[in-house]
Structures are given as C-alpha cells and as structure tokens.
Amino acid sequence: MTAKLVASVFLVAALGCNAPAFAAGSVEAGQAKSMTCAACHGVDGNSVNPEWPSLAGQNAAYVREQLAMFKARKRINEIMYPIVKDMSDQDFADVAVYFAAQTPNGLEADPSYWKAGETLYKSGDAARNI
C-alpha cells in the first residue's frame, strides 16, 4: 500500500469512530411518544399555530439532533427543555421517524420565497455583492 492509501484508510476509520451512533427509530413507538408534542406541533406534526413549527415530513436526523440539542441546553428553549429533559436517545429516534413519516398539509413555505433563496444560493447576486 502507498502512504496516501494508508493515510486515507486511517482517516476514514477515525471519522467513522467519531460519528455519533443513533438508534433506529420506530414510527409506531414515536406516535405514542409524540402525544406531548401534539399540543404545539399538532397530532400529526402539522402545527396550526405559526408560532410553533410543523414537524410533519421533516428530516428525522434533523429532528433527532434538535431534540438532543434542547436536552443538552445547546439550544435554549424554556418550553422544549422540560419536555425533552427525561427523553432518551431512543425516544428522540422514535419521535423523529414518526414526524418524518407524516405528510405536511399547510403552512409550508411560499414557493416564491424558497425558489428565490435557491437561486441566490446557486448563483449569488452581483448587484448586492453576494
């Protein structure tokens, strides 16, 4: 083996060892565990109040990470902390896959806004020095 190949193998191994291990979630278990969430985020993750985000269809890894951040107090929210402080990583995984499996039905972003953002991200805007 060449030195570059050996270094690459060690780098990949090191990165793999440091990656967080997440438990696999269960939609059925997540549904039961999400009852507390329903008060703000809706029974199926579709919030009826724009103050609270809809979680239906949200990426499970993202939801799981946000819940863990609330619990670790890396993301401060005095409403969320008491709800998540006693939840386990398995609870986070279950709730996350439950919401990911739901279908959003309203309060989605106006396509004109996200399309404009996508264009700005991909092409920039010379007039605004972006």
Q: How confident is the model at residue 36 (pLDDT cuts 50, 70, 90)?
A: very high
Burial class (CB in 10 A: 0-12, 13-18, 19+), 81: middle
CB 96 within 8 A of CB 34: no
CA atoms of 29 and 23, how far apart (whole Å):
13
pLDDT of the residue at 6: 43
Average pLDDT over residues 55-60: 96
Q: How confident is the model at residue 107 (pLDDT cuts 50, 70, 90)?
A: low
Task: Classify 57 in phi/psi space as left (phi over 0), alpha (psi -120 to 50) or beta.
Answer: left
Q: How confident is the model at residue 55 (pLDDT cuts 50, 70, 90)?
A: very high
CB 25 within 8 A of CB 63: no
Average pLDDT over residues 26-40: 96
Torsion angle (degrees, nearest 10) of CA 89, 93, 96, 100 = 170
CA atoms of 112 and 121, how far apart (whole Å):
14
- 3-state SS, residue 105: coil
Average pLDDT over residues 111-117: 83
Output the CA–CA distances (angstroms, integers) from residue 99 to 4, 10, 70, 76, 125, in the order listed. 43, 37, 17, 22, 36
Residue 6 vs residue 22, higher pLDDT: 22
Structure confidence by residue, pLDDT tens digits, 58-105: 999 999 999 999 999 999 999 999 999 999 999 999 999 999 999 999
Predicted model pTM: 0.68
pLDDT of the residue at 110: 76
